[in-house]
């Protein structure tokens, strides 16, 4: 039996650069920064005062008011992205539709309902355990975004969640593709999100010395691969893809945007936060994705890097790319859209997968903004500061999470 081809037929996102796919893509191509002063709470006691927030998001555009008020912001964001993607793909199911049993959801998130968790603990400490919401647990757990989308859109097939830190939504897309390949579904909503901008998360990442402290220049703070980088910028958002068996998509006349051609994973097995020096773990994930896709390194036309703007990650990822791609590495455009969106943590891989698909669709590679001073340890073509036209027939995105979780995905032209 030949391997089923898994294709992308729908896209959706809500993120700091836009409330839909085309608004986001226009801003990303233009090199717009979505970073600014945090407005959700008072940061005067914190070391870091900025993040990449979403402005203007109204969950009631997608969710009934009563339901929206019962959800964590993370759930709201993924629901909106999934609704966009399903509408874009032209897919809907009635409850009694047999096809609904062949459609499912995989979501990825690093920390789930962090805002609700903090609020619940605050309520318990200040007002007592009897005042904690009966919905507290469902607002917190990471898998609930998948459950909610399944309930709302009558998706009765495989339904699961990946929680692998900043690799989570890349795992979700790869896992969803494998579910279709083995014949357990025809359609999957795949992606993820994060809504971490709250006091506890800001304090935790800051104390871990993971965040940029460039408070005098928030929009210039995320500067992947630049010699002056000093940490990542926390972001919020979600993205969703509709994955389908190719034959199923063709039969219903769907527009196909790309194929999910390769999925590779590995573990650093090294440290809870730091990547393994030299990038051997990251390189294995990229190698595995290329082998899974049946491609040679020279066939990749664009790499969307994990590119967090931390000192260790960017140098390690550069070394890993050079290990895998050899002489071809210097000629492949490599950019980090986290320079504009901030780091969506568990949602990053889904948004950056969407970037790869749009680069294939439009022949445009987005830039790495804020690139000013070259670093000798980061010596690839990072598409500095301006987007570039380029024919992209195959693109790779990398996602590396705390704990040494490495994921690479390869997308190819339809």
| The Cα angle at residue 145 between residues 139 and 146, in degrees rounded to 5 | 140
Tokens, residue 339: 């320079």
Known active-site residue 166: yes
Q: Which of 298, 249, 288 is nearest to 409 (CA)?
A: 288
Structure tokens at 80: 């909106």
Q: Which of 161, 343, 356, 378 is catalytic?
A: 343
Entry field: residues in the chain = 414
Q: Active site residue: 88, 306, 378, 405, which one?
A: 306
Using DSSP bridges, classify how beta strands 103-108 and 187-194 pair: parallel, antiparallel or unpaired.
Answer: parallel
Cα-based torsion angle of the residue sequence 265, 270, 274, 280 in order, rounded to the nearest 10 degrees = -50
Give me Rg for the CA atoms of the chain: 20
* CA–CA separation, 391 and 302 (whole Å): 9
Tell me the C-alpha distance between 273 and 66, whole Å: 39
Angstrom distance (rounded) from CA 73 to CA 193: 10
Active-site residues, by number, are 166, 306, 343
């Amino acid at each position: 039996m030949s391997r089923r081809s898994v294709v992308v037929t729908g896209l959706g996102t809500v993120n700091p650069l836009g409330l839909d796919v085309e608004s986001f893509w226009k801003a990303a191509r233009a090199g717009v920064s979505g970073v600014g002063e945090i407005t959700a709470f008072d940061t005067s006691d914190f070391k870091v005062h900025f993040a990449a927030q979403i402005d203007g998001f109204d969950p009631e555009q997608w969710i009934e008011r009563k339901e929206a008020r019962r959800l964590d912001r993370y759930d709201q964001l993924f629901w909106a992205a999934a609704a966009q993607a399903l509408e874009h793909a032209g897919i809907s199911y009635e409850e009694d539709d047999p096809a609904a049993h062949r459609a499912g959801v995989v979501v990825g998130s690093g920390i789930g309902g962090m805002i609700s968790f903090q609020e619940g603990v605050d309520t318990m400490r200040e007002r007592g355990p009897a005042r904690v919401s009966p919905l507290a647990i469902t607002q917190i757990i990471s898998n609930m975004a998948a459950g909610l989308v399944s309930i709302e859109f009558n998706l009765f097939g495989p339904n699961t969640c990946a929680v692998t830190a900043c690799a989570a939504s890349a795992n979700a897309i790869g896992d969803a593709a494998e579910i279709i390949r083995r014949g357990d579904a025809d359609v999957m909503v795949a992606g993820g999100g994060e809504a971490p901008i709250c006091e506890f998360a800001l304090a935790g990442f800051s104390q871990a010395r993971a965040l940029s402290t460039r408070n005098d220049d928030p929009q210039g703070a995320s500067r992947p691969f630049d010699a002056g980088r000093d940490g990542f910028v926390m972001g919020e958002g979600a993205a969703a893809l509709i994955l389908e068996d190719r034959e199923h998509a063709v039969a219903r006349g769907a527009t196909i945007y790309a194929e999910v051609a390769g999925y590779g994973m590995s573990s650093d097995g090294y440290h809870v936060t730091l990547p393994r020096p030299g990038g051997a773990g990251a390189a294995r994930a990229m190698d595995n994705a290329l082998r899974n896709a049946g491609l040679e390194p020279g066939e990749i036309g664009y790499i969307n890097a994990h590119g967090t703007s931390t000192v260790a990650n960017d140098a390690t990822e550069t070394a890993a790319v050079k290990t895998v791609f050899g002489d071809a590495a210097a000629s492949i455009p490599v950019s980090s859209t986290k320079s504009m969106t901030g780091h969506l943590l568990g949602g990053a891989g889904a948004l950056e997968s969407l970037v790869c698909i749009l680069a294939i669709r439009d022949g445009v590679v987005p830039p790495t903004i804020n690139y000013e001073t070259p670093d000798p340890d980061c010596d690839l073509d990072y598409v500095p500061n301006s987007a570039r036209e380029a024919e992209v027939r195959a693109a790779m995105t990398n996602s590396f999470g705390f704990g040494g979780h490495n994921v690479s995905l390869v997308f190819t032209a339809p």
